[in-house]
Chains A and B, each alone.
Chain A
Amino acid sequence: MSDLTEEQIRSALDSILERRNADTRLTTMGAGSDDLEAGRRYLANTVTDGWHVPTWPAQHGGRNASASQNALIGSVLREFIVPDLYPFAIGLGMVGPALLTHGNDSQQEEWLKAIASGTSIWCQMFSEPEAGSDLANVALQAKLDGDEWVIEGQKTWTSRAMWADWAICLARTDPAQPKHKGLTMFAMPMSIPGVEVRPLMQMNRDAHFSEVFVEEARLNDQWRIGDVGEGWRVAMTVLAHERAGGGSRGGGDGSTRGAHIPSWIKDLQALPTEQTAIWDDAVMGLYSHDAVSRWTTQRAADEARSSGSPGPAGSGAKLRTVKSYKGRAYLANQSSGAYGMLEDGHGYIELMTAPSMSIRGGTDEIQRNILGERVLGLPGEPRLDRDVPWKESRRGLI
């Protein structure tokens, strides 16, 4: 496909999508509605010409777009109403790109188009009760039995599990290997016998995270993604895409181009609070931080596109995005005065969600570690469990 001009893209999108206006508001990831249909309609609408995942191959729901064409489409797409794609984000932003790197032809054929068109929802079964920041410590095991794998164990913080058709699931296939080496990645249908999903209630009243219990679930070997023992490498690809913010397109504030006041500032201005010089200063501080944050995220995304895989810049982008979100949540709460104490006060959901932003998708500490070691070249954390068989290191070495 030859590159389109900005006007050509806009006019093509005009025929299938609605323009957004100044009233379009940010949605909070993971505390949104349970409406799957709006996202499904949007994806079904855009998949024919590959607008939502332009860099994917055309036969899999993309349009073979170059990095620069993709960036242009992304910026024009921000002028249109894109519903909250939270339910679809793992498939679109993380599993899809990882399958393009690690999946075989028949896996790409089977899964990618279904992801791009919104017909299948994916979740990510990585974290476990004993494997959070230390993700490579996963204990859920997969044992080969004939040409099937038998899966046994527990996952947690599995967002979207209750909607998911498929999970990308990190499993331990060889406990005698050191922890990073004995892992293998699988795709698991959520509907097979032995898989049970139990929602976890959060303090923001959201229950989009779940525990997933797996008891003797049997997986066909054709659902294995990458080689046996290569699970950590696949997981790293998935996580790098998560940090780089892939698939988070959608929602967003009503920003188009040129000078404008973001909707979050308009909302703050509408509060019956005295707006002092101190308040102005706080708002401007956040506004500038947001601008830098947006550019950093774009730079990280551009780098990822040109190099083919997201690098440590994604960690910097995540730290900044989180700081923006928390800054807005705290400022909105402070600005709403006594009213901000109430459950129905302005920004209640955002305030209750704010602390989780520095935790989900890799904590601030993990991101700073990545930056420290891979960007600044600082000495690494002591790795006590390197070269120690996982079955010995799993319970802790100190």
Chain B
Amino acid sequence: MSEISEVDPLITETADRLFSQICDHESVQNAEVTGEATEIWKAFAETGFPWISISEEFGGSGGTLLDALEVLRLVGYHAAPIPAAETGILGGWLLSSSGQQLPEGVVTVLPSGSENLLVARTGDRLTLTGRGLRVPWARTAEIIVVPVEVDDQTFVASVQPGDCQITPMTNMAGEPRDTVDFNEVEAFAAPVPSDVNLRSFRFRGALSRTALMAGAIEKMSQLTVSYTNDRVQFGRPVAKFQAVQQHLVWGAQDAALARMAAESAAREANRGSGAFEIAAAKLIANQAAARATKACHQAHGAMGMTQEYPLHHLSRRLWSWRKEYGGDAEWSEWLGRIAISQGADGLYPLITGGSGVLR
């Protein structure tokens, strides 16, 4: 594909409207307390959004990866407490790439794949032993997908949650990140094409987080602008003070930066590569999240620290997501290695040409 793809505007509009209706402050807060958001998930699933970019042949909704990432951006924007990335572009992608049908409900993925598991293979059956950490929504998943590297080949294993021991845990934002123990769990596994492996899964995981984070930073910035324009102190809205305006500028800059990086990574990934753009976008999003949460919290003053005001839904998610699928160190190191390998004369072409140069 050489033509530049665009997001279908109908997707943006419909998903935004849907989340505006189903994800209010109360329902997001409630999901944190109960550990589930059945109603939100049901409404989301009815639209077919979770399965965009997965071929209909395997139970997906069709459409492009670009569209799927746009939905994820809106999931982040509305702090929707649902496993959208896990069910679609991560778990759904792995299942369909290995020719397996998607279930009707929630799918989750072991973020570290088979890295910390003992694996034994007999034909299309795998036996897994070990522990998976910080597995999103494992407690409500119909299938736990595990990308496995064994015998120099990559397989996608579909594990029945009932065969594992699941211990509910949560991340800083109160989202489910469960511990999953495998004790000689037998699972069906199918091989995948060579471009699907633990490395490309890591990049795709990072890609999903850049979209979520771009949305969350944008919403955080917008909330901050609107709050500081409403809040009157010393006879005028606090947004009229330069010291506050500087915070607003940081928030807005970081929102623009993260979104631009996420969109450029999405476009390249949609064309089938994009490793450089994804690594850069995740690092940019991580750093932008740290700066923007500081600026936005500061501009909100005490109100931003309360549970009754929605800022924390976004800031705590950002603090969690910036560490998922690679923190600053991992992606800085990866980018550093690539930059060095290009030599001094290759640096500028790498920055301007991105993944295209590396092919």
Residues of A within 8 A of B (CB): 127, 130-134, 137, 156-157, 200-204, 330, 333-334, 337-338, 340-345, 348, 351-352, 355-356, 358-360, 363-365, 368-369, 381, 383-385, 393, 395-398
- Return chain A residues, CB-CB under 8 Å to B319: 333, 341, 351
- Return chain B residues, CB-CB under 8 Å to A334: 327-328
Which of B304, B308, B316 is the one whose CB lies under 8 Å from A200?
B308
- Return chain B residues, CB-CB under 8 Å to A365: 241, 243-244, 298
| Contact A338–B237 (Cβ < 8 Å) | no
CB distance from A391 to the nearest CB of B (A): 13
CB distance from A246 to the nearest CB of B (A): 22
- Return chain B residues, CB-CB under 8 Å to A340: 323
Closest 4 CB pairs of A and B: A134-B233, A355-B297, A203-B312, A396-B232
Which of A131, A201, A393, A396 is the one whose CB lies under 8 Å from B307?
A201
| Contact B327–A337 (Cβ < 8 Å) | yes
Assess whether B336 is interfacial by the CB under 8 Å rule: no
Q: List 7 A-B contacts (CB under 8 A).
A: A127-B302, A202-B307, A343-B169, A355-B304, A358-B297, A359-B298, A359-B305
Assess whether B236 is interfacial by the CB under 8 Å rule: yes
CB distance from A243 to the nearest CB of B (A): 17
- Return chain A residues, CB-CB under 8 Å to B170: 342-343
- Return chain A residues, CB-CB under 8 Å to B174: 343
Interface string of B263-302 (1 = CB under 8 A from A): 0000000000000000000000000001001100110011
A398 to B302, CA, bound (A): 23
A353 to B244, CA, bound (A): 21
- Return chain A residues, CB-CB under 8 Å to B320: 341
- Return chain B residues, CB-CB under 8 Å to A369: 243
CB distance from B154 to the nearest CB of A (A): 23
- Give A395's nearest chain B residue, CB to CB: B232
| Contact B302–A132 (Cβ < 8 Å) | yes
| Contact B172–A396 (Cβ < 8 Å) | no
CB distance from A339 to the nearest CB of B (A): 8
| Contact B312–A398 (Cβ < 8 Å) | no
| Contact B234–A133 (Cβ < 8 Å) | yes
Given contact pairs A384-B235, A393-B235, A342 touches B169 in the complex (Cβ within 8 A): yes
| Contact A342–B232 (Cβ < 8 Å) | no
- Give B297's nearest chain A residue, CB to CB: A355
Interface string of B221-240 (1 = CB under 8 A from A): 00000000000111111101
Given contact pairs A203-B305, A343-B171, A365-B241, A358 touches B235 in the complex (Cβ within 8 A): no
CB distance from B248 to the nearest CB of A (A): 13
| Contact A338–B134 (Cβ < 8 Å) | yes
| Contact B235–A397 (Cβ < 8 Å) | yes
CB distance from A333 to the nearest CB of B (A): 8
A130 to B290, CA, bound (A): 29
Assess whether B131 is interfacial by the CB under 8 Å rule: no
Interface string of B311-346 (1 = CB under 8 A from A): 010011001100110011000000000000000000
- Give B321's nearest chain A residue, CB to CB: A341
Which of A343, A364, A368, A397 is the one whose CB lies under 8 Å from B172?
A343
A358 to B302, CA, bound (A): 10
Assess whether B177 is interfacial by the CB under 8 Å rule: yes
Assess whether B306 is interfacial by the CB under 8 Å rule: yes
Which of A330, A333, A363 is the one whose CB lies under 8 Å from B298?
A363
A345 to B236, CA, bound (A): 41
Most chain A CB neighbours (cut-off 10 Å) among B133, B238, B304, B323: B323
A287 to B297, CA, bound (A): 25
- Give B231's nearest chain A residue, CB to CB: A132
Interface string of B165-203 (1 = CB under 8 A from A): 000011110100100000000000000000000000000
Most chain B CB neighbours (cut-off 10 Å) among A134, A341, A345, A383: A341
A341 to B171, CA, bound (A): 5
| Contact A133–B301 (Cβ < 8 Å) | yes
A368 to B241, CA, bound (A): 13
Given contact pairs A341-B177, A342-B172, A203 touches B306 in the complex (Cβ within 8 A): yes
Other CB < 8 Å A-B pairs besides A381-B234, A383-B234, 11 of them? A133-B234, A134-B235, A157-B302, A337-B323, A338-B134, A338-B327, A341-B177, A341-B324, A356-B302, A360-B302, A368-B243
CB distance from A328 to the nearest CB of B (A): 15
- Give B244's nearest chain A residue, CB to CB: A365
Interface string of B21-59 (1 = CB under 8 A from A): 000000000000000000000000000000000000000
- Return chain B residues, CB-CB under 8 Å to A355: 293-294, 297-298, 304-305, 315
| Contact B134–A342 (Cβ < 8 Å) | yes
A338 to B312, CA, bound (A): 20
| Contact B234–A384 (Cβ < 8 Å) | yes
| Contact A363–B301 (Cβ < 8 Å) | yes
- Return chain B residues, CB-CB under 8 Å to A342: 134, 169-172, 177
- Return chain B residues, CB-CB under 8 Å to A330: 290
- Return chain B residues, CB-CB under 8 Å to A341: 134, 171-172, 177, 319-320, 323-324
A133 to B294, CA, bound (A): 18
A132 to B243, CA, bound (A): 16
| Contact A398–B297 (Cβ < 8 Å) | no
| Contact A397–B236 (Cβ < 8 Å) | yes
- Return chain A residues, CB-CB under 8 Å to B235: 134, 384-385, 393, 396-398
CB distance from B167 to the nearest CB of A (A): 12
| Contact A338–B298 (Cβ < 8 Å) | no
- Return chain A residues, CB-CB under 8 Å to B323: 337-338, 340-341
A202 to B170, CA, bound (A): 18
A130 to B237, CA, bound (A): 11
Given contact pairs A338-B327, A341-B171, A343-B170, A356 touches B234 in the complex (Cβ within 8 A): no
A133 to B228, CA, bound (A): 13
| Contact A201–B298 (Cβ < 8 Å) | no
Given contact pairs A341-B172, A352-B172, A397-B235, A359 touches B302 in the complex (Cβ within 8 A): yes
- Return chain B residues, CB-CB under 8 Å to A358: 297-298
Which of A137, A352, A359 is the one whose CB lies under 8 Å from B233?
A137
- Return chain B residues, CB-CB under 8 Å to A200: 306-308
CB distance from B172 to the nearest CB of A (A): 6
A384 to B316, CA, bound (A): 37
- Give A134's nearest chain B residue, CB to CB: B233
A80 to B149, CA, bound (A): 56
CB distance from B30 to the nearest CB of A (A): 14
CB distance from A192 to the nearest CB of B (A): 27
- Return chain B residues, CB-CB under 8 Å to A156: 302
Which of B238, B297, B306, B327 is the one whose CB lies under 8 Å from A133?
B238
A360 to B237, CA, bound (A): 20
A157 to B305, CA, bound (A): 11
CB distance from B8 to the nearest CB of A (A): 33
A265 to B170, CA, bound (A): 27
Given contact pairs A201-B306, A343-B171, A132 touches B312 in the complex (Cβ within 8 A): no
A337 to B237, CA, bound (A): 40
